[in-house]
A and B are shown apart, each in its own frame.
Chain A
Amino acid sequence: QVQLVQSGAEVKKPGASVKVSCKASGYTFTSYYIYWFRQAPGQGLEWMGLINPSGGDTFYAQKFQGQAGVSLTMDTSTSTVYMELRSLRSEDTALYYCARGVELAGRTSNFDSWGQGTLVTVSS
């Protein structure tokens, strides 16, 4: 069955970077985009960016662009996507999720499988 398994919880100091992994299994890795979301404590879901495992093209939400933002990379040999978030601040404390994007009629329609979430805590 389709599974996305994320790396474990992280505690980081302000200004540091964090790298979270998302390992896919149960389907053809290169056939589905992987999206990243985050959810601050008690809050809703916020899209951060996406990567196309077929070629590695990435696209980021405006908020996460730039040097102090997010970077998505992948390793097709292990079907793993990585999300690195730089220049961490306390406001980045959140659960981070990867999700598989399902295409319908040529566009991403929905997210049918999600990782279990990775808690990133930013604290001095």
Chain B
Amino acid sequence: DIQMSQSPSSLSASVGDRVTITCRASESIYNYLNWYQQKPGHAPRLLMYVASHLQSGVPSRFGGSGSGTDFTLTISSVQPEDFATYYCQQSYRTPVTFGQGTRLEIK
């Protein structure tokens, strides 16, 4: 199985900060990488697909980049509603696998 690892596992930020989360795959997944946001008590929400494509309805302050094994999710100016846990997920090979999550907390 392809292993996905995220860093950091948690981070604190203030409203308005620029935040970057990193995801690394255990082998090349080309650009078959998606990002999800999950708030407590809610299902995951798709943010980005194929590494850099913004899902419909997601604010443009979210951005994604990377290819191969290294990817990033950036929030250009964190808003109060962005405090949540973020997961990366590869769809290059079955089984699909997720990173362990990055918890974004209010500083």
Residues on A facing B (Cβ under 8 Å): 35, 44-47, 59, 61-62, 97, 99, 102, 104, 107-112, 114-117
Question: What 0/1 pattern do residues 45 to 74 of B give for CB contact below 8 A with A?
Answer: 110011000010000000000000000000
Set of chain A residues within 8 Å of B91, measured between Cβ atoms = 107-110
Q: Are A59 and B94 in contact (CB under 8 A)?
A: yes
Q: Does B44 contact A (CB under 8 A)?
A: yes
A94 to chain B, nearest CB (A): 13
Q: Are B46 and A112 in contact (CB under 8 A)?
A: yes
Q: Are A110 and B49 in contact (CB under 8 A)?
A: yes
Q: Are B95 and A111 in contact (CB under 8 A)?
A: no
Q: Are A111 and B98 in contact (CB under 8 A)?
A: no
Q: Are A104 and B50 in contact (CB under 8 A)?
A: yes
Distance in angstroms between the alpha carbons of A114 and B91 in the assembled complex: 16
Number of interface residues of B (CB under 8 A): 22
A77 to chain B, nearest CB (A): 26
Partner of B50, one of A109, A111, A116: A109
Q: Are B43 and A117 in contact (CB under 8 A)?
A: yes
Distance in angstroms between the alpha carbons of A35 and B36 in the assembled complex: 16
- Cross-chain pairs A/B with CB under 8 angstroms, 30 sampled: A35-B96, A44-B99, A44-B100, A44-B101, A45-B87, A45-B98, A47-B95, A47-B97, A59-B94, A61-B95, A97-B44, A99-B43, A102-B49, A104-B50, A107-B32, A108-B96, A109-B32, A109-B49, A110-B34, A110-B49, A110-B50, A110-B55, A110-B91, A111-B36, A111-B89, A112-B46, A112-B55, A114-B43, A115-B43, A117-B43
- Interface class of chain A by DSSP: strand
| A97 (CB) vs chain B CBs: closest residue | B43
Partner of A111, one of B44, B94, B100: B44
Q: Are B100 and A47 in contact (CB under 8 A)?
A: no
Set of chain B residues within 8 Å of A46, measured between Cβ atoms = 98
| A59 (CB) vs chain B CBs: closest residue | B94
Extra contacts, 14 of them, besides A44-B99, A111-B89 (Cβ < 8 A), are: A44-B98, A44-B100, A44-B101, A45-B87, A45-B89, A97-B43, A97-B44, A99-B43, A107-B32, A107-B91, A110-B50, A111-B34, A115-B43, A117-B43
